[in-house]
Structure formats: C-alpha cells, structure tokens
Structure 1
Amino acid sequence: MSVQEIEVVVVGGGQAGIAMSEHLNDHHVPHVVLERHRVAERWRSERWDSLVTNGPVWHDRFPGLEFTGLDPEDFATKDQVADYLATYAEKIGAPMRCGVEVTSVRRNPGHRGFRVRTSDGDFDARYVVAATGPFQRPVVPPIVPEDAGLVQIHSSAYRNPAQLPEGAVLVVGSGSSGVQIADELRASGRQVYLSVGPHDRPPRRYRERDFVWWLGVLGKWEATTPPQGAEHVTIAVSGAHGGHTVDFRSLAHRGITLVGRTESFDAGTLRFAPDLRDNIARGDADYLALLDEADAYVESNGLDLPEEPRARDLGEDPEAVTDPVLTLDLADAGVTSVVWATGFTADYDWLQVDAFDADGRPRHQRGVSTEPGVYFMGLPWQSRRGSSFLWGVWHDAKYVADQIAIQRGYMEHNDTKPRPTDVQG
C-alpha cells in the first residue's frame, strides 16, 4: 500500500479535532482528521443515558453554530452534543476519515516530519496534532480486588440503574459525574453510598445568572494556572433537571449516605477517611467565595441584579457529617456494585516521540510540544481554565493552528531561498 503525503495529520475526531480542522482550513493548510470510530464517539458511547452538559447551550458551543431546537439556557443531552459536533464538522468541510485507528507516530528518519501508521495505510506528515483529549483511559484505583464479589464499573461504562444488579451501590467520586449518577440511582429506589473527596462547588445560578457567566465576567475562565494543589480538584455542578446547584446536604436528606474518601478494603469491609466534614466545608468555602466576588462585582459595576440572601443558607449538617461512617461491611449493607467516578488519564502510547515527561504527561506550552512538529489539543489547563470546555477548545485550536502556519512560513522560506551557487558574483 502506498504512503499518502499530507501536511498535517490530526488524530481524533471529537471536539478538539473538529476545532483544529476549522482553523487549519482558515489557513488553507492541507490536513486530514483521523478518527478510529465515529465523529464525537465518546459523547455517544462512553456517557450515561441521561447525561446533559454542565453548561447551558448559549455558552458551551463553538462560535460558528448554535444548537437547534434548544433555548439558550437549556442543557444539551449527550446525543445532542454528538449530533452538533457531527453537523459542525460537515459545515466546515472537515476532511474526516472515520474508522481509521492510528497505531504509531514516529519521526521519519532522513525526512522532514513523521510517519503515521494507521489501520488504513500510512501517512507522511510534516506536522501531527494529538487531539485525543484527556478522557482516554478510565482510572480505577486499585482498592477493591476483582474477586471481591462485587460488580465494579467506571462511570464511562455506566448507562442507567437497570444495568446494575439488585442491591445498594457505592459511588466513588464527588465531581459532576459521581454526583449525578448517585442522584439517579437514589431516584430509582437504590440505597446509595457516595464517597466524597475534595471538590469545588459553585452555584448553578446566582442573582439570575448562570455560574459560567460569573466565571466569565470575573475573569476566572482566563486563569492560566490552577491554584496550588487544585490541578485535579473536581467541580461539582449539574445541568440535570434543568440545572441545579449541587448540595451534598440535600443529597443526604434525600437518602444518600455520604462517606469520606475511599481508602482501603479488607475482608469485605471498606474504610473511609475521616475527611467528609472537611471536604464539604472546603466546598462550601469555594461556593461562598464566589458569591462574595459576584456581589462585589454587582456593586462595583452598578448592575441591577436581584439580591439572593437565602443563597447563603447552607442548612444543618446531616448525621453522616456529624457522626461519619468510617467502615462499611459491604455484605451487611447490601452493597453489590461500585461505580468509580474517578476520572481518566491520557494514553499516548501511539505517539512515539520525545514529547513527554517522566510521568508520561505532555511537555508543551499552550499545546505546542517540546518535540518540533508535534502539537496537543484538548488538554486540561492547556492555556487557561476554560481549555477543557467546548468553547475553550475552539480558542486553543486557533492558537495552535496559528503556530503551525508560522512554522510553515519558515519552511517555505527555507525551500525558496537562493542557494549559494545561485548567487551572482
């Protein structure tokens, strides 16, 4: 099979790859987007059935296309997001090649660029953009052994309550996924235990504005460096049920048993850290701090937004906080399954270049790799706090495409400059 030559290979046909394609098109850069499944496959097949976005559609979208059939304050379902991205790819004429898996990328010895090996033949590319994003390999902490007699699944494999065997469920993880899955399981009639770790807990709406608006006007989306120790702190916010503020006290009052971080397992018993009170208190502090900043912004800018004094009423701590559960005999509690809402890690085994640190994390500056000709897209905090979001990916892609265009300019100059023998004496 012959080798196909192309200027840029973009690996990944999700939101990062599509945004990258749009900006490469704007620069008239020949490229191909390789996707091993369908466009936006993870939205279709690696999300639970009832998932909706955590931001309203007026905000969580690309600038060039609105969601059809939804009000601006609505939250799109996972299938609506997937359809939106497929429509956007068609709208911009993205050169998508679906059903093509990239198996390796290596430097092309003696030639400029890279040899990209795929399930459908090889490419020679001057530039490669890894647009596979951060949600590649599910992380399941090695706490409960596989032979413990429990059904254990990661949140990416969870679909609905009927998927799990009868009995109580432990959900580990207090970010948006863990909270929404626990809430859905409890509403289905299950006894649910929710393991709560450190988290941020913004208000869904405050003074008639969504929290994404507040983060925007307060400049928080543009933060370029996470607070120390907060690089991986989850955000507990929900677009479910029309959007609501996550309140762990309310979850407890609805029958969910809150516990601290899941620490260890021995002889059928789980042990939890005695940190539930502290984790909830830190989440409350984050929540109240944003209200304070919002109030100060309203005052300093003279905005006519109604006050919400009751937003600061946190309510009484539930019994799970005042008398925490530190051990749980799973058989006695009737727990038959565990859902690990514990996030993901990247998987760049296919990208065999010198672009990673000792822990396998990409070395880059705003997506520009330390390996010349290699670029990354869709990373958390790639350039700012908003980088992981739909609109943030779009803006990051513009910067990366600009850098590729700059490098092409240098190469064109190199290819056209007079050779010494061509200079007239």
Structure 2
Amino acid sequence: MNVDARNLKDHYSVAVIGGGQAGLSMSYHLTSKEIDHVVLERNQIGHSWRQQRWDTFCLVTPNWQCKLPGFPYAGPEPHGFMKKDDIVAYLEAFAASFNPPVFEGVAVKQLRKLSDGLFEIQCTKGTFTVNQVVVAVGGYHKPRIPRIAEKVPSHIQQIHSSEYRNPSQLPQGNILVIGSGQSGCQIAEDLHLAGRGVHLAVGSAPRVARRYRGRDVVDWLADMGHYDMPVELHPQKEAVRGKANHYVTGRDGGRDIDLRIRAKEGMQLHGRVADCVDGVMHFADDLVKNLDNADQSSENIKNMIDGFIAEKGISAPQEARYVPVWQPKGGESLIDLVAENVTGIVWSVGFESSFDWIDLPIFNGKGYPNHYRGVSREPGVYFLGLPWLHTWGSGRFSGVARDSAFLLEKIEQQLCASLEVTS
C-alpha cells in the first residue's frame, strides 16, 4: 500500500493531499480511470481515527452509512456502530482493495502556482509539479483551547479532547469537561461511567434521540432525504458548516445521551465557562436554556418524523414524547477548583482550520476555502472531506463517495481541456 517515498516523480497529473477516507476515496476514482496521481499522507492512513480518538470511541451513525466508493460496509451489524479499531480496519481494507499510490509520513510544506500554469508542491521528500490538486485534509487541524486556560492553576492537568484516551490517563480526583458537543458529552459519560466525579460545562450543542417510533432516527432521516440536502438548500445555508453536531452515542449498541439523567446520577452540570479568577471557574447563567434548547431540537426532529409518517401512511408504533427527569436550579454557578478537588480539565471546544501552507488566493476573510462542491476559484484546485462540502455526509463516510465522484468529473474535464490546449 505504502509507496517507497524515494520513488516520487518530478511530475504527476493529480496530487491528492491527505490519506484519510476523503483522500482514499479520491484515489479510488482516479485509479479506476487510470489517471496518474499520488496521495501524500502526513502521518499514516487513518491517523485521526488511530491517534485522536478515545479507547471506547465508536461511530454515532449506523454502520450501513459507511459507503466508501466500491466498498460499502459488508459486516454482520449494519445497524451497529463500529468501534475505533473496526473503523481503522475498514479503512485499511478499503485501501488494500485497490492499492492506492500512498506516500505515508510525507508532509506538504507549500502549494503554489507556477508561471507556466502548473502547481508546485514542496514536501518533506522533495519538490514536484502537478496539473491538478485535491486537498483532502478535512477541516479540523489545530485543537482549540481558549486563552482562559492560562488562568487555570498550574497543578491542574489540561488536555484537549483529541488527546483524551481513558479515565486512567487523568489524575485521581474530579474532572471538568468543557464543551457539550459529541466529543464532550461522550467523554464526560466515559469518565462518569468509570466512576469519576465529573463536572460538565454545557454549551449550545443540540441533541437527538437515538431511536424513535421503532427505528434509528438516522434511518428515518435518510428516508426523508435529509442527508441528500445540499448546503445551499439548508435553512441555515453556509452557516451550518460551523454548527455543532447533535449529540448522541453508538455506545452500548446505540442510545440517547440525556444529560439530565447523568445529573440525577451525580454529574455536575454548569453553563458555559465565563471566566477563571484566582482558581475559581465561573459559569454563565445559561444551563437551563441550553438543556431546554437541546431537548427541543430532539423534539423538533421527532415532529418531522411524525409528519413524514403521516404523509406517507407508514405503519409505525406510537411512542410517548420525552419528559425531562431533572431540572437545574438556574443562576450563575462557580467551582473553586482546588476545594472541589478538580485535578483535570478536558477542553472539548473543537478545532481550527489551518490552510496557511496553500499559497493561492482561494480563501475567504476567515481563511476558509471559497468553493462550490469542492471546486475552488483556482482552476485545477479542489477540496474534499470538509464538513458540509455539499451535504451533511461530506465530512463523513456516508457522503464522501458522491463528492469524490463529482470531483472526478471536474478533474477529467480539466485534463481534457489541457490536452486540447497542448495539441
């Protein structure tokens, strides 16, 4: 699978930067068309799944949504949820099925355009040129940790969610998890289920029920065409790209994450982090609102499903609606980190994108690529695997096959145009 990096050529028709599911999917299509190309991977195939997920991590979407091109999930549990090692094995098996020209351990240092119209790639194994480039490095590059972390007492261990592996990694004592997106809620649960004392700072992330009226909610939404909706037709338009995902889990065969239940069991819930002063962490007075909004988001999805069932005349069991089992008192809250024996903090507040190695005028004011379905403003430069590149599934296993097939068409058109010019 891994090509000897000493064999890098001076020129390729296409370079794919990134060897995750997006880059491999692009390589699959290029290989099928016998288009000369190379895939450069900074680390190892499946690196983020191997090295940036905790031990009990599993997918939150059913296995049947794993639809890499020519390699859909074919295991015994289509409605199960692959664990971390299974995800890595799936990616490795996909790559082995067509033997992509991957160079692992090769980092790209610069991408720029030359005066002759070719693109030059400088990497840790040398410099070469290409006609076209697919940037498939995703959108999560630099772990985000707010400056407020500098105010935390130095004896408290602080890590980003991408560094968390298991409860034993953190010192004995209570743990504060900051952020209630998918990672934050699942890590807080992982610590809680291991018997650790947990404080969770709850933000505005929405939640969703795992199952409703006899089926996984993902199954209903798929039938409703939710995952085929392009970003331009989404009610939030491009703003949806920056929104947190609904929290739910595939753990224990798949179930809800209900923070109110965890609070009844002893998990301490707070609002957003506001400040840290002299070892005291202050939280905003928004816990009630954040929990209510998360619940309402789940109920809104159920309303959509009810309407779909009624419209299509589907026979489905009735189900009682959600009733909150715990209510916070409201008001601002605070934790004296020392007095509460908080020995560790897990920051789960996302990542920042970084494309500073691309020396091309193709970014907006926030440094994010300007593109339509991955086609940038620079002919011959494409992006793949970004969240909501085209649909909800673009950054996941479910939609990357369609996105990469679309880019293949654009790449072929560009190659044909180049041949016409030189002939």
Q: Does structure 1 residue 314 correspond to structure 2 residue 302?
A: no
SS at match of 1:181: helix
For structure 2, list consecutive stretches of 5 or more residues without a partner in the other structure.
1-5
The residue aligned with 1:145 is 150
User: 1:40 pairs with 39, 43, 46, which one?
Assistant: 46
Deviation at 1:220, TM superposition (A): 1.9
Q: CA deviation at 1:323?
A: 3.9
One-letter identity of the residue aligned with 1:138? P
Q: Distance in 2 between matches of 1:240 and 1:405?
A: 42
Q: Distance in 2 between matches of 1:273 and 1:283?
A: 17
User: Partners of 1:199 and 1:376 in 2: how far apart?
Assistant: 27
1:80 equivalent to 2:86? Answer: yes
Separation in structure 2 between the aligned mates of residue 394 and residue 122 of structure 1, nearest angstrom? 30
Q: 1:34/1:297 Cα in 2 relative to 1: closer, same or farther (>3 Å)?
A: same
Residue 146 of structure 1: how far off its partner (Å): 6.5
1:274-313 matches, cutoff 5 A? 274-309=285-320, 312-313=321-322
Moved more, 62-71 or 336-345: 62-71
Residues 209-250 of structure 1, C-alpha deviation per residue, up to 9 Å, x if partnerless? 212212212222233335446532332111111111121211
What TM-score results when the alignment is normalised by the length of structure 2?
Answer: 0.93
Matched, 1:130 2:139: no
Q: Deviation per CA, 1:21-74, whole angstroms, max 9, x where unpaired?
A: 112223332111111221111110111111001111112332522446541111
Higher gyration radius (CA): 1
Q: Structure 1: which 5+ runs fail to align? A: 417-425
Letter in 2 for 1:285: Q
Note if contact 1:59-1:212 (Cα within 8 Å) is conserved in structure 2: no
| Matched AA of 1:277 | V
How far apart, in 2, do the equivalents of 1:252 and 1:104 lie? 49
2:350 matches 1:343: yes
Whether 2:383 is the aligned partner of 1:376: answer: yes
Q: TM-score, normalised by structure 1?
A: 0.92
**3-state secondary structure, aligned to 2:318:** coil
Say yes or no: does 1:204 pair with 2:210: yes
Mapped partners of 1:17, 1:369: distance in 2: 17
Q: Which amino acid aligns with 1:245?
A: D
2:125 aligns with 120
Select between 267-276 and 57-66 the one with higher mean Cα deviation.
57-66
Stretch of structure 1 that moved more, 276-285 or 158-167: 276-285
Q: CA RMSD in A?
A: 1.8
| Aligned-partner residue type, residue 233 of structure 1 | A
Distance across 1 between alignment mates of 2:370 and 2:379: 11
Give 1:96-245 correspondences, 5 Å limit: 96-109=102-115, 111-145=116-150, 148-149=153-154, 150-225=156-231, 226-228=234-236, 230=240, 231-245=242-256
Please give the alpha-carbon distance, in whole angstroms, between the structure 2 residues aligned to 1:221 and 1:67. Answer: 18
Cα deviation digits, residues 367-395 of structure 1 (max 9, x gap):
01112221111111111222121121221
Task: Tell me, in whole angstroms, the C-alpha distance in 2 between the residues paired with 1:146 and 1:82.
Answer: 38
**Which has the higher mean CA deviation after the structures are superposed, 9-18 or 80-89?**
80-89
CA shift, 1:201, in A, is 1.1
Deviation at residue 200 of structure 1 after TM alignment: 1.9
Aligned residues: 411
User: Take 2:235 and 2:146, find their aligned partners in 1: how far apart are those partners?
Assistant: 24
- 1:192-218 CA distances to partner (integer Å, 9 max, x unpaired)? 011111122111111222122122122
Q: Deviations along 1:236-284, whole A, 9 cap, x unmatched?
A: 1111111111212112112111111112111111111111111111111
Deviations 1:273-327 (A, max 9, x none): 1111111111111111111111121122122221112xx1322333xx2245521
- Asked if 1:264 corresponds to 2:275, the answer is yes
**Residue 31 of structure 1 aligns to which amino acid in structure 2?**
H
> Which deviates more, 46-55 or 220-229?
220-229
**8 Å contact 1:3–1:121 — kept in the other structure?**
no
